[in-house]
Structure 1
Amino acid sequence: MTADNIKQKLEQAFKPELIEIIDHSAAHAGHAGNTGGGHFHVTLVSTQFEGKSLVQRHQLVYQALGDMMKDEIHALGINALTPSENS
């Protein structure tokens, strides 16, 4: 399952204190432009985001997911926080 694959890749890359993945795919099935990939929202809390801008954090997440962004993921919302931002 794609959500499980996302979780595995993000856990491996960031060793997060918190990871949450919400699958919104069913609400978007068949809409214009969707070629079959899923719609997901991830929330990650990791020390690896310390000192990084929002854009840098998102780039790190996209990097970690790699080829999944081409086929398996059509849309991805990202909440990338440091532990101090999550308290």
Structure 2
Amino acid sequence: MDTQTIQALIENGLPGALVEVSGADGVHFEARVVSAAFAGKLPLARHRMVYATLGDLMGGAIHALALRTLTPEEAGIGR
């Protein structure tokens, strides 16, 4: 698994999201996801939204994914 594939999957599943993914070992990754779709949602719900974009890859090809999920306002975008 690579960072570009994970980024593309998240972007496809959350249209309009700004996604940054890092992780050099191929199984442990970190992602920062900024999406207006997160507005009004608790962190757990936001994480589930991201995990849903990755489907069966979570726990398989992607062993671990640390997430930072933000709305555009929380990220300071558009101010």
- Calculate the TM-score normalised by the size of structure 2: 0.86
Partners of 1:54 and 1:39 lie apart in 2 by 20
Q: Secondary structure at the match of 2:32?
A: strand
Partners of 2:39 and 2:33 lie apart in 1 by 12
Partners of 1:65 and 1:74 lie apart in 2 by 12
**% identical equivalent positions:** 39
Q: Which residue of 1 aligns with 2:70?
A: 81
* 1:33-67 CA-partner distances (Å, limit 9, x unpaired): xxxx6000000111010111000001111111101
Partners of 2:28 and 2:58 lie apart in 1 by 11
- List alignment gaps of at least 5 residues for structure 1: 26-36
Bigger helix share? 1
Q: Which residue of 1 aligns with 2:59?
A: 70
Q: Secondary structure at the match of 1:73?
A: coil
Q: Which residue of 1 aligns with 2:38?
A: 49
Letter paired with 1:39: H
Alignment of structure 1 residues 4-83 onto 2, 5 Å: 4-14=4-14, 15-16=16-17, 18-25=18-25, 38-83=27-72
Deviation above 6 Å: which 4+ runs of structure 1? Answer: none
Count of aligned pairs between the two proteins: 75
- Calculate the TM-score normalised by the size of structure 1: 0.79
Partners of 2:61 and 2:9 lie apart in 1 by 13
Partners of 2:4 and 2:56 lie apart in 1 by 15
Shift of 1:70: 2.9
